[in-house]
Structure 1
Amino acid sequence: MTVLVTGGAGYIGSHMVYELLDAAEDVVILDNLSTGFRWAIPERVPLYEGDTGDLELARSIIARHEVDAIIHFAASIVVPDSVADPLGYYRNNTANSRTLIEAAVSSGVKHFIFSSTAAVYGNPKSVPVSENATPDPMSPYGSSKLMTEIILRDTAFAHPLKYAVLRYFNVAGADPQMRTGQSTPAATHLIKVAVQTALGMRKKMDVFGTDYPTPDGTCIRDYIHVSDLVRAHSDALRYLRNGGNSATFNCGYGRGFSVLEVIETVKRISGVDFRVEMSARRPGDPAQIVAASDKARDTLHWQPRYDDLDTIVANALEWEQKLRKRNA
C-alpha cells in the first residue's frame, strides 16, 4: 500500500516524504509546484503535477498506486495574503480539500491526515491552548483550515474514513541531514527571514508590531522543528492504522519565544548583528499562541527530538547556506 502526500515537493511535505521513505513506506506525490521543487524529493518517488481540486486526477493516482492513506499538506499559508485574497484561500484550502476528501471516500481510502494550523484558535483566551478551546480564527487562512476540519468531521461520520487533524504551531528548521529545507524564495517565516538577513541576502528585516500585550511587545510563538512535526504525522498514521479513532492534535512544544528573542538567537548563532526595523502590526496576527501538546504525546506517543530553539536556528542557517550555493 502507498501513502499519497499532497504538497510533497514543498517545505513540510518534502520532509514528510523523506520520513516515510526512511520508514520503508511507498510514497506518491501530488503537487502543483507553485511553491515546491522537484529537486527537493528523490527522483525515484513518483510525482504528479496538478491540483488537489482535480477529482479525476486524484482518483487515478489513488487507484494506480493502491493508496491507503493520504497526508494532505497542499495549501496556501500566508496569513496577510489570505486577508487580501480570501476567495483564493477558500478555493485552494477549502474547496480543493473538499474535492480531495471526496476522491478519498469514493476510492476507499481509509486514513486521512490533515495539515491544519494553530491559526484556527485566533487569539486564545488562555495559553497554552488545548484542542478543546473554541476555535475563533482571525484570518481567512485560519477559517479556510477550520472549514476543512469540519468537512472531515462530517465526512467521517457518514463514511468509513478515519482522520487525524494536526494543528501546527510555527514550523521552522530543516532536515538535520540537509536533504531538504525551506526553499521558497519569498518565504515569510520569521526564522528563515532572519537567517537570510544574517547571510546578507536581505538588507534588513522588519518586526511587525511592538505594542502587543507581551513582555517585550512583540508576538510570541511556539516554534516546532520540522523534523519533529513530520514525525508526529508518522505517529498519527501508525495510530490510525492500529485502529485509533479520528482525533485532533496540537503540534508544538508548549513554550513560546517572542519575535525579538528569535532575532537575538539568530544573531547569536550566526555571529552577525544585522539590521532590524520596527513596523506596524500585520492584519490577522494574534499576540501570543503556544500549544498544549499533551494529547499528541499521550495518545500518539510522540516524542520530540529537537525541542531547542538554538538547534532549530542552526539547522535553518546551515540549510540556507547550502541552498544559496545550490542556487548560485
Structure 2
Amino acid sequence: MAVLVTGGAGYIGSHMVLALADAGRDVVVLDDLSTGFDWMVHPAAIFIKGDVGDETLVSQIIRKHSIKVIAHFAGSIVVPESVTDPLKYYMNNTVRSRSLISAAVQSGVEQFLFSSTAAVYGDARECSISEGAPLNPVSPYGTSKLMTEMMLRDVTRAHPMRFVALRYFNVAGADPRGRSGQSTRQATHLIKVATQAALGERSHLDIFGTDYPTPDGTCLRDYIHVSDLAHAHMLALDYLDAGGNSTVFNCGYGRGYSVREVVEAAKQVSGVDFPVNLSSRRAGDPATLIASAERIRETLGWSPKLNDLEAIIRHALAWENSLKLRRAEAA
C-alpha cells in the first residue's frame, strides 16, 4: 500500500518523502514542479509530474498504485503574495484541494494527511495558541487553508475517510543528512533569507515591522525543524493506521523567537555580520504565533529531537551552501 505525497518535490513534502522512504514505505510523488525540484525527490519514490487538481490523473494514480493514504503538501505559501493575489491562493490551496479530495473519496482512499498552518488562527490573543483557539485568519493564505480543513471535516463525516490536519508554525532548517532543504531561491522564510544574506546570495535582510506589541517590536514566531515536522506526520500516519479519529494538531515547540533574535542567532552561527534594513510591516503578518503543542505530544507521543534554534540555522546554512555549490557547478 503506497502513500501518495502531493507536493513531494517541495520543501516540506520532500522531507516527508525522506521519512517515508527511510521507514521502508512505498511512496508516489505528484508535483507540478512549479516551486519544487525533481532532484529533491528520494530515488526510491515514484515521481509523476502533474497537477493535484486533475481528478482524472489523481484517480488513475490511486488505482494504479493502490493508494490508501494521501499526504497533501501541494499549494502556495507566501502570505504577502496571498494578500495581493488572493485568487491564486483560493485556486491553488482550496479549489485544487477540493478536486484532490473528490478523487480520493471516489477512489476509496481511507486516510488523508493535510499540511495546514497556524495562519488559520490569525492575530490570536493567546500567548500560547491551542487547537481550540478561535479560527480567524487575517490573510487569504490562512483562509484558503482553513477552507480545506473545513472541507475535510465535512467530507470525512459523510464518507469512510479519516484525516489529520497538522497546523504548522514556522518551519525551518534542513535534513541533517543534507538530502533536502528549502531550495526556492526567492523564498521569504526568515531563516532561509538570513542564510542567503550570510553567504552573500542577498545584499541584505529586511525586518518587516518594528512596532509590534512584542518585547523588541518585531514579530514573535515558533520555529520548528522540518525533520521534527516530518516525524510528526509519520506519527499521524501511525495514529490513523491504528483507527484514530479525524482531528487537528498544532506543530510547534511552544517557544517564540523574535525576528531580531533570529537575525542575531544567524549572525552568530554564520560568523557574518550581514546588513539588515528596517522596513514597514507586511500585510497579513500577525504579531505573535506560538504553539501550544500538548495535544500532539500527549496523543501521538511526539517528542522533538531538534528543538534548538542554532541547530536549525546550522542545518539551513549547510543546505544553502550546498545549493550555492550546486549552482556554481552547473554554471
In which range does the TM-score fall when normalised by the shorter chain?
Answer: over 0.9
Instruction: Report Cα offsets for 1:303-322 as digits up to 9, x if no partner.
Output: 10000001000000111111
Aligned to 2:30: 30
Q: Does 1:100 align with 2:76?
A: no
Provide the C-alpha distance between the structure 1 equivalents of 2:228 and 2:45, rounded to a whole number of angstroms: 22
Provide the C-alpha distance between the structure 1 equivalents of 2:248 and 2:296, rounded to a whole number of angstroms: 9
Structure 2, unpaired ranges of 5+:
none
Provide the C-alpha distance between the structure 2 equivalents of 1:124 and 1:222, rounded to a whole number of angstroms: 14
Aligned to 2:15: 15
Provide the C-alpha distance between the structure 2 equivalents of 1:300 and 1:6, rounded to a whole number of angstroms: 23
Aligned to 1:314: 314
3-state DSSP of counterpart to 1:273: coil
Once the 2 structures are TM-superposed, how far is the Cα of residue 125 of structure 1 from its aligned partner?
1.1
For residues 153-164 of structure 1, the aligned pairs below 5 Å read: 153-164=153-164
Aligned to 2:75: 75
Aligned to 1:138: 138
Aligned to 2:112: 112
Provide the C-alpha distance between the structure 2 equivalents of 1:33 and 1:163, rounded to a whole number of angstroms: 25
Which amino acid counterpart does residue 35 of structure 1 have in structure 2? Answer: T
2:219/2:286 contact within 8 Å kept: yes
Once the 2 structures are TM-superposed, how far is the Cα of residue 127 of structure 1 from its aligned partner?
1.4
Provide the C-alpha distance between the structure 1 equivalents of 2:124 and 2:156, rounded to a whole number of angstroms: 27
Provide the C-alpha distance between the structure 2 equivalents of 1:107 and 1:302, rounded to a whole number of angstroms: 31
Provide the C-alpha distance between the structure 2 equivalents of 1:247 and 1:102, rounded to a whole number of angstroms: 19
Which amino acid counterpart does residue 97 of structure 1 have in structure 2? Answer: S
Aligned to 2:88: 88
Once the 2 structures are TM-superposed, how far is the Cα of residue 134 of structure 1 from its aligned partner?
1.1
Instruction: Report Cα offsets for 1:253-274 as digits up to 9, x if no partner.
Output: 0010000000000000000101
Aligned to 2:147: 147
3-state DSSP of counterpart to 1:67: coil
Q: CA RMSD in A?
A: 0.6
Provide the C-alpha distance between the structure 1 equivalents of 2:264 and 2:30, rounded to a whole number of angstroms: 38
For residues 222-301 of structure 1, the aligned pairs below 5 Å read: 222-301=222-301
Structure 1, unpaired ranges of 5+:
none
Provide the C-alpha distance between the structure 1 equivalents of 2:276 and 2:132, rounded to a whole number of angstroms: 37
Once the 2 structures are TM-superposed, how far is the Cα of residue 50 of structure 1 from its aligned partner?
1.2
TM-score by length of 1: 0.99
Which amino acid counterpart does residue 67 of structure 2 have in structure 1? Answer: V
Provide the C-alpha distance between the structure 2 equivalents of 1:16 and 1:250, rounded to a whole number of angstroms: 17
Number of paired residues?
328
Provide the C-alpha distance between the structure 2 equivalents of 1:63 and 1:213, rounded to a whole number of angstroms: 52
For residues 22-61 of structure 1, the aligned pairs below 5 Å read: 22-61=22-61
2:118/2:168 contact within 8 Å kept: yes
Once the 2 structures are TM-superposed, how far is the Cα of residue 51 of structure 1 from its aligned partner?
1.1
Provide the C-alpha distance between the structure 1 equivalents of 2:276 and 2:197, rounded to a whole number of angstroms: 9
Provide the C-alpha distance between the structure 1 equivalents of 2:310 and 2:241, rounded to a whole number of angstroms: 35
Q: Kindly, what percent of the aligned residue pairs are identical?
A: 61
3-state DSSP of counterpart to 1:138: coil
Instruction: Report Cα offsets for 1:267-308 as digits up to 9, x if no partner.
Output: 000001010000000000000010000000011111100000
Provide the C-alpha distance between the structure 1 equivalents of 2:294 and 2:327, rounded to a whole number of angstroms: 41
TM-score by length of 2: 0.98
Aligned to 1:122: 122
Provide the C-alpha distance between the structure 2 equivalents of 1:78 and 1:41, rounded to a whole number of angstroms: 22
Aligned to 1:66: 66
Instruction: Report Cα offsets for 1:1-46 as digits up to 9, x if no partner.
Output: 0000000000001111010000000000110001100100133421
Provide the C-alpha distance between the structure 2 equivalents of 1:97 and 1:231, rounded to a whole number of angstroms: 23
3-state DSSP of counterpart to 2:69: strand
Provide the C-alpha distance between the structure 1 equivalents of 2:49 and 2:325, rounded to a whole number of angstroms: 27
Larger CA deviation: 36-45 vs 314-323: 36-45
Which amino acid counterpart does residue 127 of structure 2 have in structure 1? Answer: V
Once the 2 structures are TM-superposed, how far is the Cα of residue 323 of structure 1 from its aligned partner?
1.1
